[in-house]
């Protein structure tokens, strides 16, 4: 078999949906008419006619709206397509630069089922007979990445034929030897309904199995279905997140359209399990039909069906928070993303931060969820939420803050929120050379005192990247009095900032801090002094260099090592010896945020200046 597994970057966008509805079982030709149950719906939308030559346009538009709402993609649909029409449509959409994924949705409810030789069946031009197209032909026609849904009996017999296609995702309605559900109260297109309309399908399934639940008029599912739908999506994501390996989850998560389909597949596994059927995927996903979180969904849905929205949300949150307090596990972390957009977000943030600040590797797991992005897009983020983001940035080296427009925390008057926001930006800037946060200079100066050391550290990082033509606010008078602060981390940050000063007195301030009682401050003063001496040619350097030489005997190892490095650069005649970038404080800050118990040090010891700090040796 030819290989289509050519190396190419992973595609993160689906371009269009091609829907092939082979539904009507050759009704125009009695010779191939079979006495089978006819489909009456497509994705829970009614078929208004059964004539493939004259089907109602409303049906087409309704189905297209389903795709547009579910995966935000345009859809082209053909009812009972001929093989030639299928190949022509594939060629039309498969060529795009750069390559973008197309989604092929095959409804095979009224056609010959797929066969082991890799054939999908369509019709001849006059619909007088079935005509197969080999999977290998489809792959050769579509060089772009694919997402394929095979909603037909025995769908998984095609698995091996799709295995040669790279960066593609295939969803099969049932195993090779299985038929679709034959229950009269279940739609034939149940698999497609799970994938594209999971909320409506989940309600149908719940009512089918819990008919004794008396639904209240004006309940949450009637008044606010979009909120309950979000909760279901969160549950499905949490089940997928916990059940699959990180590499598999990330692979399915990259393309939003594919991830939407994958969430629906989680529901399909559960519903089809009740019919003793086994849908599958390629790449393979583990079975999720009996996951513990289904119990949470059933309980929550009972609340949503029998209570008004406010009362049901309160009940569900209380149940969830108590359960998490007694049995905290990483598999439920994605569920917090739902409560981040409710009135319970403050309580949810406190519970979440307390957990990741006390649990090893929890922040790394949280970084894989959508929670950091939700917080970054929040209009009024709390200090707690911003510290959560800081911990994910420090451990995974990925930031949700890409530009100044996403920094909504700057509108806050709460110093705690501003401190946490400055912390996030400092960590974000340490990962990139971009200077998209320069507008924060004014905020740093205005909040110099109440937000130090984070305001001083951020101001110093911004000045390091400022261009000569940039208009820089006067900052020296706002920050220089803080050299007398009782807090070691504040003095260290001011020392870092002073290395960017043009004022003559800055070098004297740094010189005084070379005798500081705290080793971190002394270490930072060595680097700041070296930078000031290099950038100011008119300064008589001998006195300061002599002081640096005296510090070779400092009691702290890191101070002695720093002195050796800067003296080599200052005294060498060789231009190849350039002063390395000063990253002492940002490295210690990253280490501190990443360590457990950071919230105890957030206000008092940003750079692990305390010699008794438990995590000092990790830096």
pLDDT score, position 34:
45
**Cα separation of 107 and 180, whole Å?**
12
Q: CA quadruple 91, 95, 99, 101: dihedral positive or negative? A: negative
Name which of 531, 524, 502 is nearest 588 in CA terms.
524
Tokens standing for residue 314 = 């309160």
User: What torsion, rounded to 10 degrees, do the Cα atoms 539, 543, 544, 549 define?
Assistant: 150
Contact, 108 vs 151, CB < 8 A? Answer: yes
**What digits encode the pLDDT tens for the residues 232-286?**
999 999 999 999 999 999 999 999 999 999 999 999 999 999 999 999 999 999 9
DSSP string, 570-598: HH---TT-PPPP--HHHHHHHHHHHSTTG
- pLDDT(145) > 60: yes
Of 536, 522, 530, whose CA–CA distance to 569 is shortest? Answer: 530
Give the residue from 285, 277, 173, 200 showing the smallest Cα distance to 239: 285
Q: Cβ neighbours of residue 7 under 8 Å, at least 6 residues apart?
A: 166
- The residues, any chain, with a CB within 8 Å of residue 32's CB and separated by 6 or more, are 25, 26, 129, 130
Instruction: Name all domains of the chain by residue range, CATH numbers in brackets.
Output: 14-180 (3.40.50), 202-276+287-327 (no CATH)
Helix (H) or strand (E) holding 138: helix 135-141
Token look-up 């038929």 returns: 179
Confidence band of 33 (pLDDT split at 50, 70, 90): very low
% the chain with pLDDT above 90: 64
User: For the residues 543-562, what does the mean pLDDT come to?
Assistant: 94
How far is the C-alpha of 155 from the C-alpha of 175, rounded, in Å? Answer: 6
159 touches 166 (CB < 8 A)? no
Return the bridge partners of 41, or none. 46
Q: Which two tokens stand for residue 115?
A: 């066969």
The pLDDT of residue 435: 64
* Coil, strand or helix at 16: strand
pLDDT tens digits for range 147-191: 999 999 999 999 999 988 888 999 999 999 999 887 777 777 899
Q: Is residue 347 scored above 90 in pLDDT? A: yes
pLDDT at 330: 86
75-103 confidence digits (pLDDT tens): 888 888 899 999 999 998 887 667 789 99
* CA pair distance 375, 417, nearest whole angstrom: 13
Q: How many residues does the chain have?
A: 619
DSSP 8-class letter at 14: E
Q: Indicate whether 26 pLDDT > 60.
A: no
Residues near 176 by Cβ (< 8 Å), separated by ≥ 6? Answer: 116, 154, 155, 156, 157, 159
Rounded to 5 degrees, what are φ and ψ at 165? -95, 120
416-428 pLDDT tens trace: 999 999 999 999 9
Q: What is the pLDDT of residues 451-497, one digit of tens each?
A: 999 999 999 999 988 877 678 899 999 999 999 999 999 999 999 99
Per-residue pLDDT at 164: 86
In this predicted model, which residue has the larger pLDDT, 610 or 365? Answer: 365
Average pLDDT over residues 429-448: 85
Mean pLDDT of the chain: 87
H or E, element range at 444: helix 440-446
Q: Determine the pLDDT at residue 27.
A: 43
What token pair was written down for 89? 């449509």
Quote the CA–CA distance of 384 and 391 in Å, as a whole number: 11
**How many Cβ atoms are within 10 Å of 301's Cβ, its own excluded?**
25
Helix (H, G, I), strand (E, B) or coil at 297: helix
Percentage above 70 pLDDT, the chain: 88
Q: Look up the pTM and report it.
A: 0.86
Is residue 53 over pLDDT 60?
no
Q: What is the mean pLDDT of residues 566-595?
A: 86
Ranked by mean pLDDT, the top range of 11-15, 395-399, 470-474 is 395-399
Span 128-133, average pLDDT? 88
CA–CA distance, 103 with 64 (Å, rounded to integer): 13
- How many Å apart are CA 143 and CA 145, to the nearest integer? 7
Nearest to 116 by CA among 159, 173, 61, 60: 159
**For residue 32, what pLDDT is reported?**
45
Q: Is the dihedral of CA 65, 66, 72, 76 positive or negative?
A: negative
């Amino acid at each position: 078999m030819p290989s289509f597994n050519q190396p190419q970057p992973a595609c993160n966008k689906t371009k269009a949906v091609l829907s092939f509805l082979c539904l009507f079982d050759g009704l125009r030709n009695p010779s191939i008419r079979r006495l089978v149950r006819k489909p009456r719906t497509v994705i829970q939308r009614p078929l208004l006619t059964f004539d493939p030559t004259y089907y109602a346009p409303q049906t087409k538009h309704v189905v297209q709206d389903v795709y547009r709402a579910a995966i935000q993609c345009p859809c082209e649909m053909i009812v009972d397509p001929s093989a030639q029409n299928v190949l022509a449509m594939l060629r039309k959409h498969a060529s795009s630069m750069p390559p973008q994924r197309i989604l092929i949705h095959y409804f095979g409810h009224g056609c010959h089922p797929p066969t082991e030789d890799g054939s999908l069946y369509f019709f001849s031009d006059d619909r007088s007979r079935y005509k197969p197209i080999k999977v290998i032909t489809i792959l050769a026609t579509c060089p772009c990445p694919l997402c394929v849904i095979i909603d037909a009996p025995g769908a998984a017999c095609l698995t091996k034929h799709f295995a040669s296609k790279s960066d593609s995702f295939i969803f099969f309605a049932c195993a090779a030897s299985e038929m679709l559900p034959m229950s009269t109260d279940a739609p034939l297109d149940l698999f497609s309904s799970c994938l594209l309309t999971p909320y409506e399908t989940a309600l149908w399934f719940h009512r089918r199995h819990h008919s004794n639940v008396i639904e209240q008029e004006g309940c949450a599912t009637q008044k606010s279905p979009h909120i309950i739908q979000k909760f279901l999506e969160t549950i499905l994501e949490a089940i997928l997140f916990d059940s699959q390996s990180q590499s598999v989850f990330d692979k399915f998560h990259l393309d939003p359209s594919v991830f939407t389909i994958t969430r629906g597949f989680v529901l399909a596994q559960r519903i089809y399990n009740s019919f003793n059927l086994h849908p599958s995927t390629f790449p393979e996903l583990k079975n999720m039909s009996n996951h513990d979180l289904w119990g949470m969904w059933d309980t929550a849905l009972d609340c949503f069906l029998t209570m008004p929205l406010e009362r049901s949300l309160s009940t569900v949150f209380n149940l969830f928070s108590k359960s998490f307090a007694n049995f905290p596990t990483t598999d439920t972390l994605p569920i917090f993303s739902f409560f981040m957009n409710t009135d319970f977000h403050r309580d949810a943030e406190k519970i979440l931060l307390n957990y990741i600040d006390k649990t090893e590797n929890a922040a790394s797991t949280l970084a894989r969820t959508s929670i950091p992005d939700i917080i970054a897009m929040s209009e009024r983020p709390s200090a707690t939420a911003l510290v959560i983001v800081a911990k994910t940035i420090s451990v995974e080296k990925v930031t949700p803050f890409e530009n100044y427009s996403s920094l909504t925390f700057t509108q806050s008057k709460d110093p705690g929120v501003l401190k946490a926001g400055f912390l996030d930006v400092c960590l974000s800037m340490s990962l990139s050379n971009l200077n998209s946060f320069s507008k924060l200079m004014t905020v740093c100066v205005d909040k110099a005192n109440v937000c130090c050391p984070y305001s001083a550290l951020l101001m110093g990082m911004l000045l390091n990247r400022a261009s000569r033509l940039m208009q820089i606010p006067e900052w020296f008078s706002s920050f220089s009095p803080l050299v007398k602060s009782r807090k070691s981390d504040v003095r260290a940050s001011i020392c870092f900032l002073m290395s960017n000063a043009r004022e003559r007195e800055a070098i004297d301030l740094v010189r005084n801090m070379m005798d500081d009682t705290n080793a971190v401050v002394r270490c930072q003063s060595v680097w700041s002094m070296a930078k000031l001496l290099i950038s100011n040619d008119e300064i008589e350097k001998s006195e300061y260099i002599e002081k640096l030489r005296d510090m070779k005997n400092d009691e702290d190892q890191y101070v002695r090592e720093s002195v050796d490095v800067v003296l080599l650069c200052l005294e060498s005649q060789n231009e190849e010896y350039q002063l390395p970038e000063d990253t002492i404080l940002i490295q210690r800050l990253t280490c501190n945020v990443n360590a457990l118990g950071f919230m105890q040090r957030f206000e008092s010891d940003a750079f692990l200046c305390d010699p008794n700090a438990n995590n000092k040796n990790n830096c």
